[in-house]
């Protein structure tokens, strides 16, 4: 169980999950997640699967760098019952520098359909609002039906299509602190 190693900094917990920093001990699982087309096809302008485990180490280092500010990060989502990393949840500034914040999730297919994305994202939203954010967005490929369903379960509202971020047209969802993240 990689998450039980000393130094795995916990960011937040839920009933079923520990959200924590990625560690180098997670490299095999990170590679297993991000070497799958069914996962990465939804990520970025030009999705690309990891070619080898060494890319997982670089990925983990990038996640840790993006987590330097304690308000934001790309974190490992670990199942409490098995200690298995289900994937990532993120709460990060969108790339245009205007201060908008994005919530997102990337899960291994063996963790799809169990409510893990919703639970992890709900906790990330609560953290963001507790840290003073007033609005959080999710941006996803317009045909990513599963992630759109997660957005709706979180109480997010569709803001239509946008091409402001990541160099491609995306569906934008929003939720404000007043709306909260339903329990």
Judge: domain 2-176, CATH 2.60.40.1930.
no
Tell me the HSE value of 1 on the side-chain side, using a 13 A CA sphere.
13
**Region for 84 from its dihedrals, namely left if φ exceeds 0, alpha if ψ lies in -120 to 50, beta otherwise:** beta
Q: Could you tell me the residue ranges of all domains in the chain?
A: 2-176
Digitized pLDDT (tens) for each residue of the chain, 183 residues in all? 344 343 459 999 999 999 999 999 999 999 999 999 999 888 877 778 899 888 999 999 999 999 889 999 999 999 999 999 999 999 999 987 788 999 999 999 999 999 999 999 999 999 999 999 999 999 999 999 999 999 999 999 999 999 999 888 999 999 998 765 544
Distance spanning both ends of the chain, measured CA to CA: 28
């Amino acid at each position: 169980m990689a998450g039980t190693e000393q130094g795995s900094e916990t960011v937040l917990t839920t009933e079923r999950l520990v959200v924590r920093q990625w560690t180098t001990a997670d490299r095999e699982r990170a590679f297993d997640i991000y070497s799958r087309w069914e996962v990465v096809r939804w990520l970025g302008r030009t999705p690309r699967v990891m070619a080898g485990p060494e890319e997982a180490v670089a990925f983990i280092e990038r996640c840790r760098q993006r987590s330097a500010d304690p308000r934001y990060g790309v974190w490992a989502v670990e199942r409490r019952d098995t200690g298995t990393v289900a994937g990532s949840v993120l709460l990060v500034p969108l790339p245009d520098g205007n201060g908008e914040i994005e919530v997102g999730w990337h899960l291994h297919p063996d963790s799809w359909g169990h409510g893990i994305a919703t639970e992890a994202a709900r906790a990330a939203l609560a953290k963001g609002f507790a840290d003073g954010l007033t609005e959080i967005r999710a941006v996803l490929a317009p045909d990513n039906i599963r992630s759109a369903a997660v957005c709706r379960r979180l109480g997010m509202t569709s803001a239509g299509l946008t091409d402001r971020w990541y160099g491609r047209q995306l569906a934008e969802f929003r939720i404000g602190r007043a709306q909260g993240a339903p329990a």
